[in-house]
A = this chain, B = another copy of it.
Amino acid sequence: MIHFECDYTEGAHPKVLESLVATNMCQTTGYGNDEFCEKAREMIKSLCGNPVADVHFLVGGTQTNTTVIASLLRPYQGAVAVKTGHINGHETGAIEATGHKVIAAEGKNGKISAEEIEQIYNDHHSDCDHEHCVQPGLVYISFPTELGSIYYKKELEAISATCQRFGLPLFIDGARLGYGLTAADCDVDIKDIARYADIFYIGGTKQGALFGEAVIFKNKSLSRDFRYMIKQKGGLLAKGRLLGLQFAALLEDNLYFDLASHANRLALKIKDALVAKGVELTCPCSTNQQFALLSNEVVEKLSKDYSFSVSPSDKEGYSNVRICTSWATTEENVDKLISDLNKVL
């Protein structure tokens, strides 16, 4: 069985493991107050071009989203997000469990627009009974989105400007940030992300680390007492050093972005093969997740040797299939898949 169902089927990039092994018996204090974390924080601040950023490390994405959002909102506020946003549908109500509604916008291709944000904000505040409704308190977007698409520069500019105008912090979920930033059609870089976002994170789990997400706050006024929040939400790793070590390894010599480029290149190979056979892509994109509409017969045949994420579609007899590559995907496996796709399509 060859796995294409997600981007976390293997362990970590060998350089990450090497670093863990090499430092294993060094003694450090716990909870991220160690020199390895400090080094990684400095690398990240430099990469983002923001010397006053405040950097924290957490273990996983749901944990990060929950901790950041619960920290930013007042009790009666909600997080504005697109309907397909991870916090809206794939975190078992983690945001609601901290007391906050996700205010879902329709969006398009997995993206929310500045106009939608403005509409939600204005609808709320023009309602004479607005205190009977959840107040928009921040905007959450994912880069790339849950459907593999990316926001372009002018979209990010517009969203960021709208957020600033309304005093809504903009939080960018970067669980797959590298895959987005190295996409062929991407016209922003990490310094842009760091400028547009009030808070964002660099995902490690899906991009070469064993686990770990690095959260970057634009400045310390946004992250006041954030370590209390991490501890309370169960995310303060005792051996915090593991997070610092992994990010330091990934950010050295551009490794993080090289791994993402590799995954994107293989994903496009698969995309091209699908398109050549006339397969409909449900959200055409250039990152490591490709969503295609395949007949149930095709899915069944392929499922003997490959695993994908499969979900029902509106088209009779067809399913939505997500095919994922990652830093660890081999060219050999991709070629084998393409060859088999060509046989069954």
Contacts and interface: CB of A to CB of B under 8 A. Distances in A.
Interface stretch (A71-79, A154-162, A182-190): A71-79
A20 B17 CA distance: 8
A199 B233 CA distance: 21
Interface string A147-183: 0000000000000000000000000000000000000
A59 interface: yes
B76 A93 contact: yes
A298 interface: no
A344 interface: no
A2 B17 contact: no
Nearest to A102: B101
A232 B94 CA distance: 5
Interface in A17-34: 17, 20-21, 23-30
Given A99-B97, A237-B59, A311-B127, A91 B232 contact: yes
Nearest to A228: B76
Contact of A90 (B59, B133, B225): B133
17 contacts: A10-B24, A11-B23, A11-B24, A11-B25, A59-B237, A71-B75, A76-B92, A76-B231, A76-B232, A89-B133, A92-B132, A92-B133, A93-B134, A98-B99, A131-B227, A132-B231, A234-B234
Interface of A: 1-3, 5-6, 8-12, 14, 17, 20-21, 23-30, 59-64, 66-67, 70-71, 74-76, 78, 89-94, 96-102, 123, 126-127, 129, 131-135, 205-206, 210-211, 225, 227-229, 231-239, 241-242, 307, 311-312, 328
